[in-house]
């Protein structure tokens, strides 16, 4: 099959906008399989707080890159990139259409843009030192990164301590800015980007309802179970939105109502970050309002794309 005939459909956008439902509908319509691009859904046992596709939804359409790591494991973007690309290659080999679906911008870019991510093994002693500094002052740690690699510092939110630490780790261990090592080699695939969006007030209301449903569905019990299995509160997966706040409640640091309020606030902040990754003025992305018409509009885009017609 010529490389230009290897299509990839990307469904991107902020959390809670409706990507899962749309992608399942489209994958059923076009004989597709879904490859998750969500940095939290890779972890086993973290279903409610990550809004992972349910067993019923997964029975409708094959899903990949879910439940591939232990919550105590440091699963790198490089590991994700290798495994997700292998899944996409195998989907093509079956003559089916891969859908890359998610809101984790770095994961999406790793696949779509072919980021060459430095394969630098973690240095646990250095990482502990950097994390200790972050505990004292995440702002100072970000300033340290800015002094070594201003380009990376501009891209990484100071509050995203895990990414700041990793960028510094790579800089200090290799002696070169991580931004210089992250070159791009886009894969030989035709790509259609579909973005889902909603007016911000509507999206925030949807987020609040989703978080309330998570609480009703047993998010507290899910976090309790993970802690009972021995996963530490500072494990990478346990510091994600929802798990971090419920953990604080379980440790007696805040009330449950305060934890829920903080989850909603942190999720809104995360949505703002996602709109920096997936910009509404990005010419690659065909943005659709997430409503009853989105399925029909997306179907039309994909039909034209697969017939090699200009989408625009």
The model's pLDDT over 182-206, given as tens digits with 9 standing for 90+, comes to 777 888 899 999 999 999 999 999 9
For residues 132-145, average pLDDT:
91
The model's pLDDT over 82-95, given as tens digits with 9 standing for 90+, comes to 999 999 999 999 99
User: Is the domain 3-114+192-306 a CATH 3.30.870.10 member?
Assistant: no
Annotated domain spans of the chain: 3-114+192-306, 124-181
Length of the chain: 312
Instruction: State which fold the 124-181 domain adopts.
Output: Histone, subunit A (1.10.20)
The model's pLDDT over 19-39, given as tens digits with 9 standing for 90+, comes to 999 999 999 999 999 999 999
pLDDT value at position 2?
Answer: 35
Q: How far is residue 195's CA from residue 13's CA, in Å, rounded to a whole number?
A: 5
């Amino acid at each position: 099959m010529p490389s230009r005939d290897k299509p990839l459909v990307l469904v991107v956008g902020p959390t809670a906008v409706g990507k899962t439902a749309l992608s399942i509908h489209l994958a059923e319509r076009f004989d597709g399989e879904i490859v998750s691009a969500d940095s939290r859904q890779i972890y086993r046992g973290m279903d409610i707080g990550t809004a992972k596709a349910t067993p019923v939804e997964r029975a409708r359409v094959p899903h990949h890159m879910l439940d591939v790591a232990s919550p105590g494991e440091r699963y790198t973007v490089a590991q994700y990139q290798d495994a997700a690309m292998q899944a996409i290659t195998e989907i093509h080999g079956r003559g089916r259409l891969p859908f890359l679906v998610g809101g984790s911008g770095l994961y999406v870019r790793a696949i779509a843009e072919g980021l060459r991510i430095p394969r630098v093994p973690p240095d646990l002693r250095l990482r502990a030192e950097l994390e200790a500094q972050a505990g004292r002052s995440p702002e100072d740690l970000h300033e340290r990164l800015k002094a070594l690699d201003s380009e990376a510092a501009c891209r990484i939110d100071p509050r995203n301590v895990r990414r700041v630490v990793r960028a510094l780790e790579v800089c200090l261990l290799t002696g070169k800015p991580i931004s210089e090592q992250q070159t791009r080699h886009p894969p030989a695939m035709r790509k259609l980007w579909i973005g889902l969006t909603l007016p911000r007030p509507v999206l925030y209301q949807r987020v609040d309802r989703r978080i309330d449903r998570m609480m009703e569905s047993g998010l507290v019990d899910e976090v309790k179970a993970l802690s009972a299995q021995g996963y530490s509160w500072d494990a990478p997966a346990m510091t994600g939105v929802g798990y971090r706040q419920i953990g604080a409640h379980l440790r007696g640091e805040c009330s449950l109502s305060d934890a829920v309020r903080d989850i909603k606030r942190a999720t809104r902040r995360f949505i703002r970050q996602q709109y920096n990754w997936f910009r509404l003025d990005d010419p690659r992305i065909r943005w659709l309002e997430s409503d009853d018409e989105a399925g029909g509009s997306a179907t039309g885009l994909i039909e034209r794309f697969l017939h090699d017609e200009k989408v625009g």
